[in-house]
Amino acid sequence: MRLRSLPEFEYMVPKDVNEVCSVLQQHAERAKVLAGGTDLLIHMKHRVLTPRYLIGLKNLSDLDRVSYKEGQGLRLGPLVTHESIVGDRVIQERFGALWTACSKVGTPNIRNMGTLGGNLCNAAPSADTAPPLIACQALVKVMGLAGERSLPLENFFLGPGKTALQPGEILVEIDVPCPPPRSGMVYVKLPVRTAVDMAAVGVAVFITVDANNDACQEVRIALGAVAPTPIRARRAEEIMRGEKITEPVIQKAAQIASEESCPRSGSIRASVEYRCSMVEVLTKRAIRQVLAQVRSF
């Protein structure tokens, strides 16, 4: 289909979150929020989405903030762009998996426009920011007319393109707890091309080691693009938790992670077999990279 103009719509710029929620509640299916627009406008050009109302969020400057407090963790506004996250020293040093993910989204142009909130709320199974945030046990805060509620990011994704947002609700904050001492994290993305592309497989690993630096006190493995939503590889984690992290343990965990994947068949990007195989390869790679990180502290 020819991809030229956008369909017609009315444009509003509410002055605060409450007004956004009111408008969303009032117009329901016929309204969409506009953050960076890098996914929404493409869907509209293809006529996959044709909202009657676009709700511009540029007055909500409170939602475009990053703050970090020692002991409390990271607070991210949903309107923070990927490039802002890449430019943040604290995130680069303490939340490196998220930093890596944002640095690999799309292109430099897209990173200057696209937002963290947009990446999460579009809920693509391959969303780069999801596995690292899930591995870090991120919480999301959602606001509606009835008030605010929090839920683990892991429970935010319900299916491809589907989130736990109710009508009239928007994402207002993403909270990431401080990693405990002796922790490391990594995000590994396998795109089909060297740049611009989505993840064919995404693996995020978070490990806390014990005082001897060889046993796994805590581990979280999150996988992207290999299931209808980003998922935790919980059985793989069980292999590692409390154990000395030896080569056999790493091999076994990676193999189980691969078995926990259930990628979609018929994808033009990669076959089921290739994706499952790459989950095993990348999980091993990621675990080893995290170990190198914690051992270098």
The C-alpha angle with vertex 96 and arms to 224 and 285, in degrees rounded to 5, equals: 55
* Range 162-166 contact pairs with CB under 8 angstroms and sequence separation of 24 or more: 162/123, 163/120, 163/121, 163/123, 165/121
Q: Quick check: 102 and 81 in contact, CB under 8 A?
A: no
User: Does 58 participate in binding another protein (rule CB under 8 A)?
Assistant: yes
Under DSSP, the state recorded for 52 is S
Among the listed ranges 1-9, 155-163, 169-177, 184-192, the one in contact with another protein (CB under 8 A) is: 1-9
What would the x/- binding string for another protein be over residues 159 to 198, using CB under 8 A? Answer: ------------------------------------xx--
Nearest approach in angstroms of CB 189 to another protein is: 14
Residue 268 engages another protein in binding (rule: CB under 8 A): no
Asked whether position 15 contacts another protein by CB under 8 A, the answer is no
Does position 109 bind another protein by CB under 8 A? Answer: yes
Q: For the chain, where are the E strands, in sequence order?
A: 10-12, 31-34, 53-56, 66-69, 73-76, 139-144, 147-152, 157-159, 162-163, 170-176, 183-191, 199-209, 216-224, 231-232
| Neighbouring residues of 41: CB distance < 8 A, sequence distance ≥ 6 | 6
Per CB under 8 A, which of residues 85..104 are in contact with another protein?
A: none
Q: Which of residues 196-225 bind another protein (CB under 8 A)?
A: 196
Binding residues for another protein, how many (CB under 8 A)? 28
Q: Give the residue with the Cβ less far from another protein, 64 or 83.
A: 83
Distance CA 232, CA 153 (A): 11
The tally of CA atoms less than 13 A away on the side-chain side of residue 101 is 33
Does residue 9 interact with another protein by CB under 8 A?
A: yes
Nearer to another protein, 88 or 280 (CB): 88
Supply the minimum distance, in Å, between the C-beta of residue 1 and another protein.
Answer: 12
8-state DSSP, 81: B
- Give me the least distance between CB of 34 and another protein, in Å please: 8
Task: Based on the shown chain and the rule CB under 8 A, indicate whether residue 54 belongs to the binding site for another protein.
Answer: yes
CB of 126 to another protein, least distance (A): 16
Is there binding between residue 5 and another protein (CB under 8 A)?
A: yes
Long-range CB contacts (within 8 A, 24+) of 27-35: 27/52, 27/53, 28/167, 28/168, 31/55, 33/57, 33/170, 35/78, 35/79, 35/114, 35/115, 35/117, 35/118
- Binding mask 118-137 vs another protein (x if CB under 8 A, - otherwise)? --------------------
If one asks whether residue 108 binds another protein (CB under 8 A), the answer comes out as yes
Residues 24-43 close enough to bind another protein by CB under 8 A:
34, 37-38, 41-42
Q: Which residues bind another protein (CB under 8 A)?
A: 3-11, 34, 37-38, 41-42, 45, 54, 56, 58, 83, 106-110, 112-113, 195-196
